[in-house]
Amino acid sequence: MTRQTERSPQDPPIDGQKPPEPGGISRRGLLTSVSLAGLGAAVGASVPLSSNPTGTMLPSALAQGAPTSGAAAQPSGPQPLDYPGKEKGLVVLGERPLVAETPEHLLDDETTPISKFFIRNNGQIPEPAASPDAWKLTVDGEVNNRLELTLAELKSRFQPKTYRMVLECGGNGRSFFQPQARGNQWTNGGAGCAEWTGIPLSEVLQAAGLKDTAKYTAHYGADPHLSGDTTKESLSRGMPIAKAMEPHSLIVYQMNGEPLPTIHGGPLRLVIPGWPGSLSHKWLTRITIRDREHDGQGMTGTSYRVPNTPMVPGGTADEKDFRILESMPVRSIITAPANGTRLPAGTRAVALRGAAWAGDLTVSRVDVSTDAGQTWTQATLAPTRNRYDWNRWTAAVPLPSDGYYEIWTRATDANGRMQPPVAHNWNPQGYGGNTMHRVAVLVG
């Protein structure tokens, strides 16, 4: 794959440097390598998804299938992740910083195992904490009582909570945009749903005593800047106080009942569900309360921001017309069968499983189609454990004969907004690409 020697393309530029251009990892190459080549080896052959070369309805970015002529011979492409404790099926999207996504078929667990959870970093990975309980968190700024607490003190002073909640990268679905947006070309794999144990952020902020001037948080971590410059933050984002005070916004030290792994921000991180994962700061060392919107690294320009007025795809952004990306859009995925599955001749129905989530909102329904959206079958939603948990869903669809089928899934949120067939509201950083997921199966 193309080695990125500085920042991942989606990240805010280092001062004085031009952001790297996208390249090296294509949507076509990614899904050829992961969704089809690996699966084809298991079932005996690959089953491609159709694509529309004209791009008038379903652009090639949605074609989660076999390469067009010559693509297999490309010298560069995605590589499987080789990292201790991680599944080999995860796919590297960037090496420096390390970024890896989880193919949809590996998200078939009700609770995403640590081994299958995606990786998103913005800076260098710090060394593991020698003594996790001695890790310190500072809360300062527009507060009456500056706090400096060790992890051990957080555990003893506050009552922990455990919730199963989706964590999703802000750029999830970026590869679906045409023309290509800048950054790591995520498909649907920049998301997972783990059990997070930690202290409600609201209780810590209440202990600090928010002043009337408190408007926004600012987050800081121990991850060094990629350049090695100790005066620069690799990332520093924040949120309105109202979001910080939600009961499900946690300061987390356990993941799936285990101490939080270093690669996922251990020993201490934020988990701010429903909003871009960049808010869920890893290796958390300080939360500063500000009297204005935070302007740290990753808060300005087009970083984690989307246009108010729809812009011409590929056009020049007017940064004054951008707003901060907050609640993530509704999304559903098919986790079984995997893309590229062959079914025995005579199969006349296929059982489907998947997951759906909707940022701050709930999922009202999930529908599936085998005829490119001409007709839809409503799936059955399993109950969620708590707010921000994903909806596991099941459905059974008839297959009238042997042959080739593409199965689509479409989720609708509580406000009636549903996944579109193509990525809309193009923006330079490729946020909000929540197109319908589709997989191909072949009967006989």
Q: Is the dihedral of CA 71, 73, 77, 79 positive or negative?
A: positive
**DSSP state for residue 222 in the 8-state scheme:** S
Q: How many Å apart are CA 201 and CA 147, to the nearest integer?
A: 13
pLDDT one-digit tens code per residue, 186-245: 999 999 999 999 999 999 999 999 999 999 999 999 999 999 999 999 999 999 999 999
Q: Is the dihedral of CA 223, 227, 233, 234 positive or negative?
A: negative
pLDDT one-digit tens code per residue, 68-124: 333 344 435 668 999 999 999 999 999 999 999 999 999 999 999 999 999 999 999
Full-model pTM: 0.86
**Domains observed in the chain:** 27-120 (no CATH), 132-324 (3.90.420.10), 331-443 (2.60.40.650)
Instruction: For residues 336-341, give the mean pLDDT.
Output: 97
Contact at 8 Å (CB) between 204 and 154? yes
Report the run of H or E that residue 405 belongs to, with start and end.
strand 403-413
Q: What are phi and psi of 334, to 5 degrees?
A: -95, 120
pLDDT one-digit tens code per residue, 153-187: 999 999 999 999 999 999 999 999 999 999 999 99
Instruction: For residues 270-295, give the mean pLDDT.
Output: 98
Q: How many Å apart are CA 427 and CA 106, to the nearest integer?
A: 29
Contact partners, residue 263, CB within 8 Å, separation at least 6 = 83, 85, 86, 119, 125
In Å, how far are 17, 117, 179, 321 from 151, measured between CA atoms? 37, 24, 45, 41
Token pair, residue 191, equals 């998301």
Residue 425 predicted with pLDDT over 70: yes
| pLDDT bucket at 47, cuts 50 / 70 / 90 | confident
Q: What is the pLDDT of residue 83?
A: 96
Q: What is the pLDDT of residue 57?
A: 30
Residue count of the chain: 444
Q: How many Å apart are CA 392 and CA 386, to the nearest integer?
A: 13
| pLDDT bucket at 289, cuts 50 / 70 / 90 | very high
pLDDT one-digit tens code per residue, 370-401: 999 999 999 999 999 999 999 999 999 999 99
Residue 30 predicted with pLDDT over 70: no
* Mean of per-residue pLDDT scores for the chain: 87
Instruction: For residues 255-280, give the mean pLDDT.
Output: 98
* DSSP assignments along 253-314, one per residue: EEETTEEPPGGGTTT-EEE-TTS-GGGS-SSEEEEEEESS---STTSSTTTTEEESS---TT
Closest CA to 306 of 323, 327, 293, 328: 323
Q: What is the pLDDT of residue 276?
A: 98
pLDDT one-digit tens code per residue, 344-377: 999 999 999 999 999 999 999 999 999 999 999 9
User: 43 vs 332, which has greater pLDDT?
Assistant: 332
Residue 133 predicted with pLDDT over 50: yes
